[in-house]
Amino acid sequence: CDCCGGTLTSCPPGTSLSPSSWVASCYNPGDDQTYLIAYRDCCGKQTCGRCSCLNTEGELPVYRPEFS
């Protein structure tokens, strides 16, 4: 959401963090560890139109070691 004014840890203006989250697990064969992933959507507005919303179905998430 950074192109609409949000960040990795905050929602864009006019939206709010969802009270519920998506939870999944992810196995990393590099360190033989399974990680629990939780994701919360920003709710309250449609897309801002300043960035494209591409269908990412089937894509893998970006690994961010600074947040693990």
CATH number for the domain spanning 21: value is 2.60.30.10
C-alpha separations of 14 from 35, 54, 63, 65 in Å: 32, 22, 28, 30
**Does a structural domain hold residue 63?**
no
Q: Please say if 32 is a catalytic residue.
A: no
Would 59 be classed as within a structural domain? no
Active site residue 22: yes
Asked, for residue 16, whether it belongs to a domain, the answer is yes
Candidates 2, 22, 31, 32; catalytic one = 22
Is residue 27 in a domain? yes
Task: Tell me the three state secondary structure of residue 1.
Answer: coil
Task: Give domain status of residue 62, yes or no.
Answer: no
Taking only the tens place, the pLDDT of each residue in 13-32 is: 888 888 888 888 889 999 99
Domain boundaries, position 8: 2-53
Mean residue pLDDT across the chain: 78
Express each pLDDT in 26-50 by its tens digit.
899 999 999 998 888 888 877 777 7
The pTM is what? 0.49
